[in-house]
Amino acid sequence: MRRFLKKFLPDHTAVSNNRWLRPFQDSLLHPRLWHLNRHSAAGAVAAGLACGLIPGPFQMLGAACCALIFRINLPLAMLVTLYTNPFTIVPLYLLAYQVGRVVSSDGSGFLAPPEMTPSDMAAWGQALALWIEAVSRPLWIGLILLGAGLALFGYVAVKTAWRLHLMAAWRRRKLRS
């Protein structure tokens, strides 16, 4: 499992040779950020899944910050955030909104955004602001819960898969001897 993952992840020499990252060498070259074991991989997957739901282009930055704080595998945490892309982000956000509605007991149903009227942009802007205000609370609650749920699932899945892989390797080794 480790050899498979190492084929796709950069090593610390790529960071040390990058002139843009040279000022951050002291923190980015910590050995635990580049070591790949079941603990660092599970933590990295959990951080990547949780940070993948961060709005905008800040997903990888969030995953990198989590990796620095928790000393988990940095490249894997950043790689896992790529599960959100232009095709998956809308369904994930709709799911988060529905989860937030259920948890916050919001019985208003799905609120469609206001139709854009070029003739009266001021009224449309006000309607859009009201819509954002109405949607934001269930959406944020849902994003936090969905991110936590995905992180927990990813952590347990990696730990379990790694354990099963080790048990199979032990069994093969025992059969050979």
pLDDT digits (tens, 9 = 90+) for 127-139: 888 888 888 889 9
Q: Which two tokens stand for residue 50?
A: 């949780």
Tens of pLDDT, residues 37-63: 999 999 999 999 999 999 878 999 999
How much is the pLDDT for 58?
92
How much is the pLDDT for 26?
63
The answer to whether 172 and 71 have CB atoms below 8 angstroms apart is no
DSSP symbols for 3-39 = HHHHHHS--HHHHHH-TTTGGGHHHHT-HHHH--SHH
Could you tell me where the DSSP H helices lie in the chain? 2-8, 12-17, 25-28, 31-34, 38-51, 59-70, 74-80, 89-103, 121-176
Domain that residue 18 falls in: 2-176
The torsion of the CA quartet 101, 107, 113, 115, rounded to 10 degrees, works out to 170
d(CA 129, CA 121): 12
The answer to whether 29 and 15 have CB atoms below 8 angstroms apart is yes
d(CA 96, CA 104): 12
Q: Tell me the three state secondary structure of residue 84.
A: coil
Q: What is the pLDDT along the chain (177 residues), one digit of tens a residue?
A: 566 666 666 666 666 666 766 656 666 677 788 888 999 999 999 999 999 999 878 999 999 999 999 999 998 999 999 999 999 999 999 999 999 999 988 776 677 778 877 778 888 888 888 888 888 889 999 999 999 999 999 999 999 999 999 999 999 999 998
Q: Which two tokens stand for residue 143?
A: 């994003």
The answer to whether 114 and 124 have CB atoms below 8 angstroms apart is yes
How much is the pLDDT for 25?
62
Tell me how many domains the chain contains.
Answer: 1
DSSP classification of residue 54: S
